[in-house]
Amino acid sequence: MTKQVLLKPQLIAFLIPTILLLSLVLLINSSLFTEHQSKLSTFITIDFIITIPLIYFLLIRKTKISNLTIAPFLIVCVVIASYTIPMANQDILNLAKTWLIPIVELSVLTFIILKVRKAIKAYKEVATTHKDFYSTLTETCKSIFPDTAAKLAANEIALIYYGFFNFKTISLKANEFTNYNGSGILSTLGALILVVGIEMVTIHYLASKWSITFAWIMTGLSIYSALQLIGIIRSVPKRPIVINSDHLLLRFGILSETTIPLDVIESIQLADSSDFNKEKGTRTLSLLGEMEHSNIMIHLKTPQHIEFIYGKPKLYTKLLCFVDDNQRFKTEVEQLLSN
């Protein structure tokens, strides 16, 4: 049991400050505090606004928890103190509200600005060795933020970049293949944007009869979904499928991506949509199932992971995808396998 707790520093960083806060609340409601209210209020206030936040910071500084969480944690401590410490003994607490919180907010803003500057510098350094923007962006964000925050930041920036800024046509190398010209899949996703637009108008009209605020929230979510689809659609031509000497890099824009080492490939064959089934271990690269019009099927000896723009990676042992020049793709992969 002790070993399991030690392996979870994030859990410790949450439990210890929580226990300390509860202890202070219990102390304030005890007879001891009632008898020595004026003296204890000062020390308890210091514990709320300095001691416990400092302990929290020391606990998280070597974990994956962002240091930025110290700001909301401090605010939580101030709120709890405001509701538990008697109003007559809140002089120090009011002073903290006036000066300490603005200082913390300014510090957080400065920290974010420095992180952004560091990200720009790191991106320029990494970009010299990577061609693909999304891969470079993801690597840069991971060097600065925790994994979850890095993925979210990279995804949101990539959606904006591909959707509204990257208009340059890429030139394919001999080992790169397009995967969208003959499938009609981008047209399908474009039609989904139209559906989202129609749905947005309808839902907004119906929801506004119940709540204007809720209606605009739903409209905002619909607009965000449409922007996501635009970013994904426009990223597909920018991120081709690649055959490397020891692995395949299969991508459908920024929606999904997987790397398959050649030594785990059992076989590769031409396929069509009828080969798709929902059996466990079977995936399609674009996540659209039969609508992808797959023409390549890859069987693996051992399971591999496919990464998605959102959500957890999924295991697969059979992958279906669409490649425009599928015959040449299959031939070149088979040649590498035979060698």
| Residues 17 and 105 reside in one and the same domain | yes
Instruction: Report in angstroms the alpha-carbon separations of 36 from 33, 51, 111, 168.
Output: 5, 20, 40, 72
| Residues 274 and 315 reside in one and the same domain | yes
- CATH number, domain containing residue 272: 2.30.29
Record the pTM.
Answer: 0.62
Give the chain's mean pLDDT.
Answer: 81
Query: Do 53 and 20 form a contact (C-beta atoms < 8 A)?
Result: no
**CA separation for the pair 155, 108 (Å, rounded):** 23
| Residues 198 and 105 reside in one and the same domain | no
User: Does residue 40 lie within any of the structural domains?
Assistant: yes
With 0-12 / 13-18 / 19 or more C-beta atoms within 10 angstroms meaning exposed / middle / buried, residue 189 is buried
Whether the pLDDT of residue 264 is over 70: the answer is yes
Instruction: Show the DSSP H helices in the chain as ranges.
Output: 2-6, 9-28, 31-35, 37-46, 52-60, 70-84, 91-95, 101-127, 133-142, 147-164, 185-208, 212-235, 326-338
User: Does residue 280 lie within any of the structural domains?
Assistant: yes
User: Does residue 55 lie within any of the structural domains?
Assistant: yes
CA 231 to chain centre: 16
Q: Look up residue 59 and give its two tokens.
A: 């606990």
Structural domain count of the chain: 3
Tens digits of residue pLDDT in 125-178? 655 555 678 887 887 777 767 777 778 888 888 888 888 887 777 788 888 898
Average pLDDT over residues 28-33: 86
User: Does residue 126 lie within any of the structural domains?
Assistant: no
| Residues 279 and 199 reside in one and the same domain | no
User: Does residue 154 lie within any of the structural domains?
Assistant: no
| Residues 196 and 224 reside in one and the same domain | yes
> Which of 47, 64, 58, 57 is CA-nearest to residue 8?
64
| Residues 271 and 191 reside in one and the same domain | no
Tens digits of residue pLDDT in 289-319? 666 678 889 999 999 999 888 778 888 889 8
User: Does residue 276 lie within any of the structural domains?
Assistant: yes
Average pLDDT over residues 17-41: 87
Range of the domain at 194: 176-237
Q: What is the pLDDT of residue 5?
A: 42
| Residues 59 and 76 reside in one and the same domain | yes
| Residues 73 and 89 reside in one and the same domain | yes
With 0-12 / 13-18 / 19 or more C-beta atoms within 10 angstroms meaning exposed / middle / buried, residue 201 is exposed
In which band, very low, low, confident or very high, does the pLDDT at 2 lie, cut at 50, 70 and 90? very low
**CA separation for the pair 62, 228 (Å, rounded):** 34
Over its C-alpha atoms, the chain yields an Rg (Å, rounded) of: 27
| Residues 321 and 280 reside in one and the same domain | yes
| Residues 259 and 224 reside in one and the same domain | no
Of 112, 130, 158, the domain-final residue: 112
| Residues 252 and 294 reside in one and the same domain | yes
| DSSP type of residue 273 | G
> Which of 286, 337, 328 is CA-nearest to residue 319?
286
